[in-house]
Amino acid sequence: MIAVHLPILQVVLPLIAAPLCVLFRARDLPWAIAAVATWTAFAISGLLLAQVYSVGVISYEIGDWAPPWGIEYRIDALNAFVLLVVSGVSAAVILFGRDSMLAEFGRSREYLFYTAYLLTFCGLLGVTITGDAFNLFVFLEISSLGTYVLIASGNNRRALLASYQYLILGTIGATFIVIGVGFLYAMTGTLNMVDLAGRVQAYGANTTIVVAFTFLVVGASLKLALFPLHLWLPAAYTYAPSMVSAFLAATATKVGLYVLVRFVFTIFGPEFSFVTLSLGLPLAILALVGMFVTSTVAIFQNDVKRMLAFSSVAQIGYMVLGISIHTMLGVAAGLMHLFNHALMKGALFCAVGCIVYRVGSSRLDAFAGAGRRMPWTMAAFCTGGISLIGLPLTAGFVGKWYLVLALIDRGWWPLAVLVVLSSMLAVIYIWRVVEVAYFRDPLPEAGPVEEAPLSLLLPTWALAFANIWFGIETSLNVNGAFAAAESILGGFGS
């Protein structure tokens, strides 16, 4: 009986848990509430994915109002896949968060932090699960408002500036989405995505529809930090607490990408987006330029968190490049990289969080000697790094392999060469950290440093291990991505 209501529980449980954190603020209770809510959400998203694979698309009518009048939650192979990524990485990160946040944030306003975390989490899940275009905007703003608070809780006073900058740009992005949705509503009189799809695609290249398309694509690109709209991201990830960086890097931009994919493929349809308006070309160009520019910038960073943040923008380029190919292989490769990148950046940011916990800084100098003094932390960092570069037997390799295949299959083989070349840039920036950690003596003023506690190491290693696991046992990420690509492409491009 309760299984019927899983779609709404997925969103409502974190939402209910959020105020509970404010009510029960005794020692560690807020964290425990957040952890239970996150793990329950993880379990629910697993059940939903299994249900989608066995019986197909799930449609849930909120309050029993039939769509298209009521709000519908609609779960297909695409958003079930994204839900699992978001809740899965969050489940590891929340365990990491307890001690990491105690060290970086303290206990005094802990309950407010976890309230903001749960609201962000609820918003991200809501964006992903909803089948209503305006509801998507509301959830997007819930997650964004939570994110601003999470970023501002960093210790460095620059976190405030980073959060403010993201608030400005994020609100502009979200407002663009409202404008786009408004134009679509003016043309069609509906907000339900499936209903919209049929009506919008019947119009063809109508001016209002094209304007709506433009606003929605630009708005979503701001949210997913597509180069050159990524300016909010590096500062936000650098100055946020370590747990927040891991959480956001693995979830927020992924949901942004999902929003783009949902609008472009489900509502406007691949035929309109890629044939009539040839969106593929600008996306591919921005993705490629972004990959090279931000990877190069990453090489010159002296703060490892900042380096990983720039690397995130570059990795978003791979996902967008996959989408821009708009073939079955290409879209699947992009979505696969979405899954894999969440694991890599989760592991990498958690490993940096371990260093911050022991040494108190994420600057490159702080890593000196960490190879010997914190061997497990650095091993996890290296595993994440290898996956990021895309060496065989890691998840990163699988994604890039399919991306290169898709490019060759499409006849864009020079781009395939560029993808491999840009991966070399990742070798350089990861190597800089490895070199400092393993071959340089620790700074004299650093004092004695020991390995991070198990409460941090275990979640970090869970994510690092997942990178290896999904590089070998690829049925979930590869088949999941293909099922998702099939669900949104239909018969297009095959």
Partner 1 sequence: MALTDAIAAHFNYWIVIILMMTGFYLVIAHPNKINKLIGLTIFQTSVFILYISFAYVRGATAPIIVEGWDDYVNPLPHVLILTAIVVGIATTAVGLALVVRIHRAFGTIDEDEIQPLLTDP
- Residues of this chain that interact with partner 1 (CB under 8 A) are 134, 137-138, 141, 144-145, 148-149, 152, 156-158, 160-161, 163-164, 167-168, 171-172, 175, 178-179, 182, 185-186, 189, 303, 363
Q: How far is the CB of 79 from partner 1 (least distance, A)?
A: 22
Residue nearer to partner 1 on the CB measure, 107 or 158: 158
Among candidate residues 258, 256, 284, 323, the one with its CA nearest the CA of residue 493: 323
The tokens for 10 are: 């997925």
- Tell me, what DSSP letter sits at residue 332? H
Amino acid present at 345: K
Residue nearer to partner 1 on the CB measure, 138 or 408: 138
Residue nearer to partner 1 on the CB measure, 168 or 417: 168
Question: How many whole angstroms from its chain centre is CA 285?
Answer: 21
DSSP string covering 239-277, please? Answer: HS-HHHHHHHHHHHHHHHHHHHHIIIIIISHHIIIIIIS
Residue nearer to partner 1 on the CB measure, 143 or 467: 143
Q: How far is the CB of 157 from partner 1 (least distance, A)?
A: 4
CB-based burial of residue 98 (10 Å sphere; 0-12 exposed, 13-18 middle, 19+ buried)? buried
Residue nearer to partner 1 on the CB measure, 305 or 326: 305
Residue nearer to partner 1 on the CB measure, 156 or 278: 156
Cα gap 417→408, rounded to integer Å: 10
Residue nearer to partner 1 on the CB measure, 99 or 132: 132
* Residue 120 CB partners (closer than 8 Å, separation 6+): 142, 143, 146, 147, 150, 247, 252
Cα gap 233→460, rounded to integer Å: 22
Which secondary structure element, helix H or strand E, spans residue 61, and what is its range?
A: strand 58-61
Based on its alpha-carbon atoms, the radius of gyration of the chain, rounded to whole angstroms, reads: 21
Q: How far is the CB of 364 from partner 1 (least distance, A)?
A: 11
Judge if the upstream peptide bond of residue 30 is cis by omega within 30 degrees of 0.
Answer: no
Q: How far is the CB of 223 from partner 1 (least distance, A)?
A: 14
Q: How far is the CB of 220 from partner 1 (least distance, A)?
A: 16
CA-angle at 49, arms to 47 and 53, nearest 5°: 115
Among candidate residues 287, 305, 339, the one with its CA nearest the CA of residue 155: 305
Cα gap 400→403, rounded to integer Å: 5
Partners of 74 in beta bridges: 59
Q: How far is the CB of 142 from partner 1 (least distance, A)?
A: 8
Q: Report the length, in residues, of the chain.
A: 494
Residue nearer to partner 1 on the CB measure, 103 or 161: 161
Q: How far is the CB of 210 from partner 1 (least distance, A)?
A: 16
Question: How many whole angstroms from its chain centre is CA 31?
Answer: 22
Among candidate residues 491, 367, 348, 363, the one with its CA nearest the CA of residue 438: 367
Residue nearer to partner 1 on the CB measure, 110 or 141: 141
Contact 261, 193 (CB under 8 A): no
Q: How far is the CB of 126 from partner 1 (least distance, A)?
A: 13
Residue nearer to partner 1 on the CB measure, 144 or 312: 144
Q: How far is the CB of 181 from partner 1 (least distance, A)?
A: 9
Q: How far is the CB of 309 from partner 1 (least distance, A)?
A: 15
Cα gap 147→117, rounded to integer Å: 8
Cα gap 258→256, rounded to integer Å: 5
